[in-house]
Structure formats: C-alpha cells, structure tokens
Structure 1
Amino acid sequence: MKNIAVFCGSSDGASPIYKESAYALGKELAERNLTLIYGGAKVGLMGAVADGVLEAGGNAVGILPHFLQDREIAHQKLTELIIVNSMHERKAKMAELADGFIALPGGPGTLEEYFEIFTWAQLGLHDKPCGLLNVHHYFDPLISMFDHMAREKFMQEKYRSMVITDTAPKGILQQFLSYSPPSVKTYSTEKV
C-alpha cells in the first residue's frame, strides 16, 4: 500500500476537532510513508489533511477540475497537482492512483465519492479498502444506516463488513493493512 485517497469537506465544519483530525490523518500518512491522493484544494478539511502531510515531510497529490482551479482554491505547495476536465475525471483518477480510500467528515460530495468507490468495491471492480474516519461521531448515523441495510437484507453481511471504521488515523490505517476483500457480488438468489 503506497497511496491513500482521502475524501473530505471543503469546509472546516462546526467543531475544531474536524480540522485537527484531518491534519492528524495527514501527519500519520506522512509518518507511514503513504502518499495522499485528494481533491487538490487548500480550503477546509481538504487543505488541513494536505497541510498535515506536507508539514510532516510527506507527499500530497491533488486532483482538481479546472473550473475549481479557476476559483483559486488549488493548494500551492503540493508535491503534484493534476488538473482534469470534470468531477468524473477527478474521481476516476483518484480511484486509479489510490490503494485505499478514507472518508473524513464532509457534505454530499464527500458521501457521493465514498459511496461510488464503496459500490465499486462491492461489485468487485476493485479490492481496495474503504474506510470512514468517524471523527466526533460524525458518521454514527451513516454507520447505523449500513446496519439497517444489512438487517433489512438490502446489503449482504459480507459487504457490511467492508465498511471499515475507526475514530483515529492510526486505527483505520492499521485495519487497512489487514483488509481482505469479500468475494465478488453476485445476484443469485441461492444461499452462498
């Protein structure tokens, strides 16, 4: 494992703990010699995770659509900034480069990025770990929703177990090292 993609908000959030945790994740990535792959912005949690990596001497690769670069939100100190044409290209490039994916707190865009990559894992399009860094209990409602999906039989338990969660950067990255993907999703009605 060399590259970790991080999905997160372009806002700081309501509590300083969100930004502090994003910075701590960045620092932990650098200390483990893992390259950050992220959205390329200098604002919000995105900027904090990149700052954590860079200030700890690590590498941060940003992938930013040109329309956001035009709004002057690109982080200027990145190891590499890749400019793409669309949000779709951004997600595809992040998926291509990353060996694992972590979502920090964020809004609809963060959840959309996480759910797409998680769904791809469930379908067997990749076998990379997907985690939620549950800072300040932010993802508790989402984790409960995953449990509800499994109870109501809209998600098999083996896919529910793919939702890696932890409250600390060290814990989630440790789980990534021991991750083993489940078998590929099938649509058979027979018990497996």
Structure 2
Amino acid sequence: MEEIKRVCVFCASSSKVKECYTKDAVLLGKILAQKGIGMNYGGGAVGLMGAIADSMLLNRGDVTGIIPRFMVEVEWEHKGVANMIHVDTMAERKKLLVENTDAVICLPGSTGTLEELFEVLSNKKLGLFTKPVILLNTNGFFNPMIQMLDKIANEEFMRDEHRNIWSVVEKPEDVIPAIINATPWTMEAFKIAAV
C-alpha cells in the first residue's frame, strides 16, 4: 500500500462505555497524529468520538468532522475541531466520511457505527470501495459480529474471498500495520460479488 495520508474512523458517541474503549480511542488518536495521518470522523464531542478527536488535537493531528445540522442543533458538535463540515443528511455524512481516505477504521459502537461499517463492507464487496477496513476489536467487542460474518460465509451467503474485505486487530498499535498489510482489493471485485 502507498503512503497512508488520511483515514476514516467510525466509533461510538456514548460516554458511558468502559474505560478500555476510551483508552484505545485515545491511543489510536495519538498514533495517527504522530504518524501525520489525518482523520475524518463523525464530528461528535463525547464518547469515543470525542476521545479520539481530543487526542488527535492534543497531538496536533489533522481532524475533519462531518456532522448533520440536526446534530449541531442539539449541541453534539465538537467545538474544538476547526475543520467541521455541516451536511443535511446522514447519507451525505457517510459519503464524505470515506471520500478520499486510504482506510476505514471501525472502533466499537452502536447501531450507527455498525450501519456505517456494513455500508462500507457492502460497497467493498461490490468493488465500489477498495480501501482497507480495520476493526479495532477492543475487549473482544466485535467477536459476535465476526462469528456472524463467518457463518454468512460458511453458509454460502457470500464467498470465502469476502472474508478478506476486513481485518481484525486487538490493539491500537496494530492498526497501521494492518492497513499496510491488508489484502489488495479492486473494482474488479464486482465480478465475484455474487455467490
């Protein structure tokens, strides 16, 4: 893989999660900033979103937030992120989050985080998105989902090759190596999208 310049990070906005999740978000933000890798994220000020943004900013990282206007109105927006893009819809937000990025990193989260992740995985399966997708599996958070994805492949709802559209790491320090070593994927993937 060529140089990693910018990544998209999906993650939770909950401020009630266990400390281990926040700790990994903070460490990942520090790692990205220190390596000069910019981040697109959902623009929130609390939870893992706030933690990773704060960490990036503390370490002089390049942060772009993308947030729908209705979330700004209820004061979910991170006031410390100078480059904040306001959009009208969640669909616009998801499009801009991944645009011109070199990888997607998914941290633990709720339905919104998983919805963003599965849209990217679906697009990658179709060859519409070709960049690495990394799951930061803090505290085994994604284990049940990975088991479900394995079942999907085992039951032939998708091909074995589609197990290569994501990579799983257990520690923030392993995210960048996982991006670099991810299985190459191209738009030609459309030819094997069907089972």
Q: TM-score, with normalisation over the residues of structure 2?
A: 0.92
Aligned to 2:26: 23
Given that 1:84 and 1:90 are in contact with CA atoms closer than 8 Å, whether structure 2 keeps it comes out as yes
Instruction: Tell me the equivalent position of 1:34.
Output: 37
Further displaced range: 21-30 or 8-17 = 8-17
Q: Aligned partners of 1:123 and 1:117: how far apart in 2? A: 10
Does the residue aligned with 2:81 lie in a helix, a strand or coil?
A: coil
Report the alpha carbon displacement of residue 186 of structure 1 after superposing the two structures with TM.
2.7
Change (3 A) 1:62 1:188: closer
Cα deviation digits, residues 2-31 of structure 1 (max 9, x gap):
111111111034311111111111111101
Corresponding position of 1:156: 159
User: Number of aligned pairs?
Assistant: 190
Q: How does 1:43-82 map to 2 (within 5 A)?
A: 43-82=46-85
| TM superposition outliers: structure 1 runs of 4+ over 4 Å | 187-190
* 2:152 corresponds to 1:185: no
Question: Secondary structure, in 3 states, of the residue corresponding to 2:49?
Answer: helix
Partner Cα distance (1:15, 1:121) in 2: 31
5+ residue gaps, structure 2, are none
Q: TM-score, normalised by structure 1?
A: 0.93
The 2-side partners of 1:118 and 1:21 are apart by: 23
| Letter of the structure 1 residue corresponding to residue 190 of structure 2 | K
- Pick the aligned partner of 1:169 from 153, 172, 191: 172
- The question of whether the paired residues in 2 share the 8 Å contact of 1:26 and 1:49 is answered with yes
SS in 2 for 1:89: helix
Contact 1:13–1:19, Cα closer than 8 Å, also in 2 = no
Match of 1:139 among 139, 142, 145: 142
Secondary structure in structure 2 of the residue aligned to 1:97: coil
The 8 Å contact of residues 40 and 98 in structure 2, kept in 1 or not, is answered as no
Which residue of the partner structure matches residue 83 of structure 1? 86
Deviations 1:101-145 (A, max 9, x none): 011110010000000011111100121111110001100101111
- Mapped contact 2:125–2:193 kept (Cα < 8 A): no
Distance 1:93 1:131 in 2: 18
Q: Distance in 1 between matches of 2:88 and 2:33?
A: 29
Instruction: Give % identity.
Output: 37
Q: Distance in 2 between matches of 1:152 and 1:61?
A: 40
Q: Which blocks of at least 5 consecutive residues in structure 1 are unaligned?
A: none
Distance 2:35 2:171 in 1: 14
8 Å CA contact 1:37–1:97 kept in 2: the answer is no
- Summarize deviations over 1:42-63 as a string: whole Å, max 9, x none: 0111000101111111111000
Partner amino acid for 2:179?
F
- Structure 2 counterpart of 1:95, one-letter code: V
RMSD across aligned positions (CA): 1.7
Q: Counterpart amino acid of 2:91? A: H
